[in-house]
């Protein structure tokens, strides 16, 4: 697609529920990032994929958070047993076409706003 | 530690007045520097970026930024602010290596008064 697409845009979950957030990156982009943006804060890094390989998951706040990108395109961020502190906007970004130099620039989706009650 | 500091949480500027948003960074490698803008309910849009070369970079919507290595700063400027510029502005730092995550500041909220 023309841009990074995320779904759902809004998700309300009861505490303890599992949620799945989807990211469809720009076609051909090799790199995919997930960020978490709490209210009034800047985005904070969660995890990074190069194609289907998850190369960095150092930002995932707990083992309740899990991300995958099985075919090197669409990615899913899953949060198990959601807690109130998980309430945030989850941003997906992609970059770097195969064979092109790295510009360092990330292209962001509009985010998925998760509210845990 | 690698970090980005945006000292101003909230700035109000009169329409037509000039704007400067401050950004300081701490980074171990040669930095790639970015300014992104975020309108309510929207994703982040890139305003401009600095990789190397001329330290004054031009971006979209009439914005510019100047990289000052000695001050570890990358301040964003605009000569004349429009009401539509009201938004959240984020400074970010990254590196040349593909897959390097950007580190963002906490952002500056810009309000524009008439």
**Average pLDDT for residues A24-32, to the nearest whole number?**
92
C-alpha B44/C-alpha B48 separation (Å) is 12
Q: How far is A111 from chain B (nearest CA, A)?
A: 6
Which residues have CB under 8 Å from A25's CB, separation 6+?
A4, A32, A73, A74, A75, A92, A94
CA-CA distance, B14 to B63, in Å (whole number)?
16
Identify the pLDDT of residue B18.
Answer: 97
- Cβ of residue B107 closer than 8 Å to a chain A Cβ: yes
CA angle B88/A38/A44 to nearest 5° reads 85
Task: Centre a 10 Å sphere on the Cβ of residue A16 and count the other Cβ atoms it contains.
Answer: 10
pLDDT at residue number B75: 98
Return the pLDDT at A100. Answer: 63
Q: Which two tokens stand for residue A99?
A: 């064979």
Check residue B77 and give its pLDDT. 98
What are phi and psi for residue A87, nearest 5 degrees? Answer: -60, 120
pLDDT value of position A85: 96
Contact criterion met (CB below 8 Å) for A45 and A35:
yes
Higher pLDDT, A36 or A40: A36
Gap from B15 CA to chain A (nearest CA, Å): 24
pLDDT for residue B88? 96
- Nearest CA distance, B67 vs chain A (angstrom): 17
Higher pLDDT, B29 or A97: B29
Q: Is B42 on the interface with A (CB under 8 A)?
A: yes
Per-residue DSSP letter, B28 = S
Percent with pLDDT over 70 in chain B:
99
Task: Kindly report, residue by residue over A55-111, the tens digit of the pLDDT.
Answer: 999 999 999 999 999 999 999 999 999 999 999 999 999 987 666 666 668 899 999
Mean pLDDT within B37-42 = 87
Residue in chain A lying closest to B31 (CA): A104
What is the interface size between A and B, counted as CB pairs within 8 Å?
70
B61 secondary structure, DSSP code? G
Q: What is the largest CA-CA distance in chain B?
A: 44
Residue B68 and residue B84: Cα distance in Å, rounded?
Answer: 28
């Amino acid at each position: 697609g023309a841009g990074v697409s995320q779904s759902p845009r809004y998700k309300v979950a009861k505490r303890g529920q599992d949620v799945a957030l989807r990211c469809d990156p720009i076609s051909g982009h090799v790199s995919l990032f997930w960020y978490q943006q709490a209210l009034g804060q800047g985005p904070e890094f969660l995890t990074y994929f190069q194609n289907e390989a998850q190369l960095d998951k150092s930002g995932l706040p707990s083992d309740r958070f899990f991300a995958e990108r099985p075919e090197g395109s669409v990615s899913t961020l899953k949060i198990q047993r959601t807690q109130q502190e998980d309430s945030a906007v989850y941003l997906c970004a992609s970059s770097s076409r195969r064979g092109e130099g790295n510009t360092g620039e990330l292209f962001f989706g509009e985010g998925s706003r998760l509210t845990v009650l | 530690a690698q970090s980005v500091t945006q000292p101003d949480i909230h700035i109000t500027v009169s329409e037509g007045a000039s704007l400067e948003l401050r950004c300081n960074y701490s980074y171990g490698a040669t930095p790639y520097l970015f300014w992104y803008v975020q309108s309510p309910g929207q994703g982040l849009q890139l305003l401009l970026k600095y990789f190397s070369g001329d330290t004054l970079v031009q971006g979209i919507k009439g914005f510019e930024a100047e990289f000052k290595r000695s001050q570890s700063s990358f301040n964003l400027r605009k000569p004349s602010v429009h009401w539509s510029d009201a938004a959240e502005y984020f400074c970010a730092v990254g590196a040349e290596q593909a897959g390097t995550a950007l580190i963002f500041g906490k952002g500056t909220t810009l309000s524009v008064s008439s």
